[in-house]
Amino acid sequence: MLTVSVKWQKQVFPGIEIDTSQPPIVFKSQLYTLTGVPPERQKIMVKGGILKDDADWSTLAVKDGQKLMMIGTADEIVKAPEKGPVFVEDLPEEEQAVALGHSAGLYNLGNTCYMNSTLQCLHSVPELKSALLSYSDTARGNGIDQASHSLTLATRNTFGELDQSVRPVAPLQFLQTLRKKYPQFAQQHNNVYMQQDAEECWTQLVYTLCQTLTSDASESAALSMKQLFGIDLVSRVHCAESGEESTETESVYSLKCHISHDVNHLHEGLKHGLKTELEKVSPALGRTAIYTRESRINELPRYLTVQFVRFFWKRESNQKAKILRKVDYPLELDVYEFCSDELKQKLQAPRQMLRDAENAKFGLKTQGKASSSKENEGSSSAGDSSSMDIDKADPSVPKKQLTGVYDLVAVLTHKGRSADSGHYVGWVKQDDGKWIEFDDDNPNIRKEEDILKLSGGGDWHMAYICLYKARVAESKS
């Protein structure tokens, strides 16, 4: 650690600590908090010229107690739409964030776009934010380790900063705890932190939250994590050669869209992902044999995560390669055909209620009373499944039942040829229907057609992870 003072205009800021193990962009983020000058506008004089975002502190000869000079113009104060004489700067910062219309961006702290895009997409899930709010600083039940506990707190705190700030947030606490819990994200090459895989970051973070939010201290949040993201699969494993057959069950937190030369759409890729071949020892044959594994969804979540399997290990070059093939994905995804017969039966009544409700919006004819009562009868039996009823606590509140239909709410994209390089961005749908592209600290409003152009086939950003939100049917019984 070094301690320096910084002169900016007529002001001097003493006693600023520099963590020399972090890139200078982190130091610039500290100065942004003090001065309001965005990092990209800061010109800090050091030996040899102007301080660069990714410079190596050890080569700059900055000494403890040194006074640095900074030149730069602070951000202009954002004004709200005029309603009388009230301006955004007159509001508390929380209200300024609301007036902005979307949450803040995240500074790139040195090849951390993989982390920023993951955080922005998961931050779009209000139920996850609620679960995190119920997690206290002292919640350490159920044998949770300190690193997992710290990462959960850092996630909670970062989400809070995003909601309350009108300026970009520097997620330094989250980054440090992520690297402590999962050292793979602290890998360096030539003393520079390496780019990492956003899907691995997403998976590790969700796994950690599933562990910590199931602690005794937050039991109510524990159930929601399984309901929010958990997918139960039932699989038939069959060997054509020996005739052996067995059934397996597992819980996962994403569906895989496998990409091959005959996959042009997400549905086709999901079919490939749910039917695979594996080689294992056959007890009947006494040797290895080929088995076919066909999986079906037996329990659905409130938010369905789909990963496009775009990266594979290329042996000849000994690195990850990327499949650039265009694979279209829908704004509305219906997974009914991928469900088990048991789940399909449970979904029928809620699906009919959903169709009737949507037809009524357009003045179209709905099914009659006799049919509706039959559906309610079916939906009450469906309510016995934890995968079907989302809200159970208050019997006076209509039950929200899953239908197997989902709407796209977030897309995490990758631009580049390798998972170890390139750039990740999060695209998030807002409550008012507009989309925001979160390119690190630079949020931009986008149109729906821009989202559909992220399907691949070139060097532009292409979908790597899609997050879908369940469309539900409401039942009064």
List, as one string, the DSSP characters of 81-148. Answer: PPBTTB-GGGS-HHHHHHHHTS---B---SS-HHHHHHHHHHTT-HHHHHHHHT--TT---TT--HHH
Task: Compute the C-alpha angle 401/395/367, nearest 5°.
Answer: 45
Q: What is d(CA 124, CA 392) in angstroms, rounded to the nearest whole number?
A: 23
Task: Compute the C-alpha angle 52/53/59, nearest 5°.
Answer: 55
Question: What was the pLDDT predicted at 80?
Answer: 46
pLDDT digits (tens, 9 = 90+) for 333-371: 999 999 999 999 999 999 999 999 888 877 777 664 434
Question: What was the pLDDT predicted at 477?
Answer: 53
Question: What was the pLDDT predicted at 99?
Answer: 53
Orientation angle between helical segments 113-122 and 172-181, nearest 10 degrees: 100
Question: What was the pLDDT predicted at 218?
Answer: 47
Q: What is d(CA 218, CA 199) in angstroms, rounded to the nearest whole number?
A: 26
Strand 231-238 versus strand 245-252 pairing type: antiparallel
Neighbours of 163 (CB within 10 A): 15
pLDDT digits (tens, 9 = 90+) for 383-431: 444 446 655 545 554 578 999 999 999 999 999 877 678 999 999 999 8
What is the separation of C-alpha 330 from the centre of its chain, rounded to a whole number of angstroms?
Answer: 18
Identity (one letter) of the amino acid at 295?
Answer: S
Neighbours of 318 (CB within 10 A): 7
The whole-chain average pLDDT of the chain stands at 85
Orientation angle between helical segments 126-133 and 146-164, nearest 10 degrees: 120
Strand 49-50 versus strand 67-71 pairing type: unpaired
Contact between residue 158 and residue 374 where contact means Cβ atoms under 8 Å apart: no
DSSP state of 74: P
DSSP state of 389: B
Question: What was the pLDDT predicted at 346?
Answer: 96
Below-50 pLDDT ranges, the chain: 77-81, 86, 88-89, 93, 97, 217-219, 222, 368-387, 393, 397
Active site residue 461: no
State the catalytic residue, choosing from 102, 113, 201, 339: 113
Strand 303-309 versus strand 255-258 pairing type: parallel
Contact between residue 354 and residue 405 where contact means Cβ atoms under 8 Å apart: yes
Which helix (H) or strand (E) segment is 16 a member of? strand 11-18
| 3 state SS of 206 | helix
φ and ψ at 281, to 5 degrees? -70, 130
Calculate the alpha carbon distances from 122 to 20, 77, 127, 153, 279 in Å: 30, 29, 10, 15, 36
Could you tell me what percent of the chain has a pLDDT over 90? 57
Contact between residue 160 and residue 103 where contact means Cβ atoms under 8 Å apart: no
Which helix (H) or strand (E) segment is 393 a member of? none
State the catalytic residue, choosing from 238, 265, 267, 423: 423
Contact between residue 210 and residue 225 where contact means Cβ atoms under 8 Å apart: yes
Active site residue 239: no
